[in-house]
Amino acid sequence: MASLAVTEFVINPASASRLISNPITNNTFFFFCFCFPKRGASLLLKSHLHSASRFRKANATTSSSSSDQYDQRQQEEEDEEENFQVVTAVRSKYNDIVIVDTPKSRMLLLDSTYNVHSIINKGIHKWTGSYWDEFVSLPAIVPNGPIAIYGLGGGTAAHLMLDLWPSLKLEGWEIDEILIDKVRDYFGLSDLEKPTETGGVLQVHIGDVFSPSKDASGRYAGIVVDLFSEGKVLPQLEEVATWLKLKDRLMPNGRFMVNCGGIDGVSDMTYGAARPKSMNDVWMHNSAIRALSEAFPGKVSWKRMPERNGENFLALTGLLPDLSSWSAAVPGHLSETVKKWKPCAPSQ
């Protein structure tokens, strides 16, 4: 920790509201509140942030024909807007780190975009409704063995996975030591580092996941990849060579599940003959999935989160699992969402 320069700075509600004055121009962003959506595409559901006015005054005005019910809801949202607190704000070597409390959740905002990189819900219901939930379905379709999380962030996926699979051995990787210290303090990460009654635990590693490691060969039954910076997927994930190196870390029949961000800002001319021909080919607009498809030919599946959940692309390596069996092995809304995976097979 001492090796990293840390600068404390304070963000009050007035300055926080100014964060929304210069939203990033990116057609994959899904804007809900004073902070920007998580890493290039997704943020939170409206069940968490009822509208874009939650942390700021709404600019829109209701028409004379608006119902009293709508007016009441709008007023409630505006009354709620000040009901948040910046609990800590720190600048490290890698990130601007801001942690925000709301009545329903705690959120981690990172880098100059202040995108939401993690969320922990308060109360009984832990599901986020976003792609973090999807990662929880991975243990059902991989061999027995440890699962790595590349890009641990605030530990949202780790919390959810150990809640459902309490005997799971997780290894979380994060490059920012200061971030991990703050997450231990404010996101309960330390609790996950203590073994559960059935032996599940999170082991935290500080370091660069792309650095060569002899100990990693054949180590993991599955690897969750959630690596972003400045609102974009790390460029290494858009390179075939990266995946060819990383796949050595998987056990036989192990899988990657990857948050691939949004649609590329490129024209159709980029694809040439591989230009998408239908909605089933929309995955071809995502560079990370195209790279995965080259590294794992015929063994990549994809899905896209709904618009209300941010429209992130997700990718899964290995042959497409039997969706009925997978659905039966996971609970709640996951049993329906896993049925939406489909193979990356361009239309003829």
Q: List helix spans (H) across the chain.
A: 13-18, 68-80, 131-135, 156-164, 177-186, 189-192, 240-246, 287-295, 323-329, 334-337
pTM score, two decimals?
Answer: 0.77
The structure tokens listed for 87 are 């609990």
Instruction: Sketch out the chain's domains with CATH numbers.
Output: 127-264+279-343 (3.40.50.150)
Burial, 277: exposed, middle or buried (Cβ in 10 Å; 0-12, 13-18, 19+)? exposed
Cβ neighbours of 72 (radius 10 Å): 10
Average pLDDT over residues 122-132: 89
Reported as a single tens digit per residue, the pLDDT across 260-313 is 998 875 433 344 444 445 566 789 999 999 999 999 999 999 999 988 777 899
Reported as a single tens digit per residue, the pLDDT across 166-194 is 999 999 999 999 999 999 999 999 999 99
Reported as a single tens digit per residue, the pLDDT across 64-120 is 344 455 455 555 555 454 578 999 999 999 999 999 999 999 999 998 878 889 999
